[in-house]
Amino acid sequence: MLQQRMDEVRAQVEAALDTAMSALPRGELTDAMRYVCLGGKKLRAFLVMESARLHGVSDQAALPVACAVEALHAYSLAHDDLPAMDNDDLRRGLPTCHVQWSEATAILAGDALQTLAFEMLTDPAIGSAETRVKLIAAFAHAVGPAGMVYGQMMDIAAEGAEIPLDVAGITRMQVAKTGALIAFAAVSGAMIAGAPSEALRVYAAKLGLAFQIHDDILDVTGDEDTTGKRVGKDARAGKATFVSVLGLDAARAREKELVEKAIAALQPYGDEAGNLKELARFVIDRES
């Protein structure tokens, strides 16, 4: 059930992103943008589409938001992977953007994907101009210098610091770096419908942390063929992660506890939130 709906959303979003790219000038920039949007679970898009469905918002209205969230996420990956940042050469089982093309192309493709994300949020299909401006402001807040980019900056600062982050520090960093965009995705459907979003905000906060803890676990227990990215990097870099500070068993206990809290937060939605509940379980069962 979950897998079917995730596949459906992934296909919808990939087709819509492809259509958007087809309207751009042909060349390496567009090719690179398309490349970094390829693959992945499209988990954030799934959150948008399910949040919309829960609030009676049509797929047609939610799709540009789902695409914007994935375009923004793709930009953040292209920039995070750069040599000056995390210096990663493998992502989603493929060479990272700067390896496949060049550093300049990866910087510009990321820049252009951020712009494209905002442009997609102006789509009249989403709703009234008021709704769109409200979404754009919330999106900017989630991904900008008080949100995602701030978290990435904290992450980089922590690597060079003498005292490694503790659990509270890692949590603060991840809430900004990955949590803010996940939260935006999860509440976006409620925002389009003008409905309260507090339950989804709590769900997303727990889900985002569980997701990150599981990423840290996979960096220790996973293999490159399955995860599609390099593993063991954090340990080699001496980087503080949920696993390095909690230990593997406590990290596993913590992610389970978070998933239970995420599911409990969805109680007001009853059975309608079945997919989101399944997603929370999937997040800590996944091997990639």
Q: Which of 6, 9, 17, 33 binds its own copies (CB under 8 A)?
A: 33
Both tokens of 88, joined, read 């990663």
Binding-residue pattern over the window 66 to 85 for its own copies, x denoting contact by CB under 8 A: ---------x---x--x-xx
Per CB under 8 A, the list member of 30, 100, 221, 288 interacting with its own copies is 30
* Residues pairing with 196 in the sheet: none
Does 195 bind its own copies (CB under 8 A)? Our answer is no
Q: Which residue's CB is nearer to its own copies, number 11 or number 157?
A: 157
Asked if 276 contacts 1 with a C-beta cutoff of 8 angstroms, the reply is no
Instruction: Print the binding letters for residues 100-139 with its own copies: x by CB under 8 A, - otherwise.
Output: --xxxx-xx-xxx-xxx-xx-xx-----xxx-xx--xx--
Tokens at residue 99, please?
């390896």
| Measured distance CA(220)–CA(232) in Å, rounded | 6
User: How far is CA 215 from each of CA 212, 230, 246, 259, rounded to the nearest angstrom?
Assistant: 5, 12, 14, 14
Site for its own copies contains 99 (CB under 8 A): no
How many beta carbons lie within 10 A of that of residue 4, not counting itself? 9
Residue 283 CB neighbour total at 10 angstroms: 22
Give the footprint of its own copies on residues 140-159 (CB under 8 A): 140-141, 143-146, 149-150, 152-153, 156-157
Q: Are 1 and 279 in contact (CB under 8 A)?
A: no
Query: Residues 1, 3, 4, 25: which binds its own copies (CB under 8 A)?
Result: 25
Contact between 226 and its own copies per CB under 8 A: no
Instruction: Give the integer Cα–Cα distance in Å for 128 and 52.
Output: 15
Binding site for its own copies (CB under 8 A): 24-25, 27-30, 33, 75, 79, 82, 84-85, 102-105, 107-108, 110-112, 114-116, 118-119, 121-122, 128-130, 132-133, 136-137, 140-141, 143-146, 149-150, 152-153, 156-157
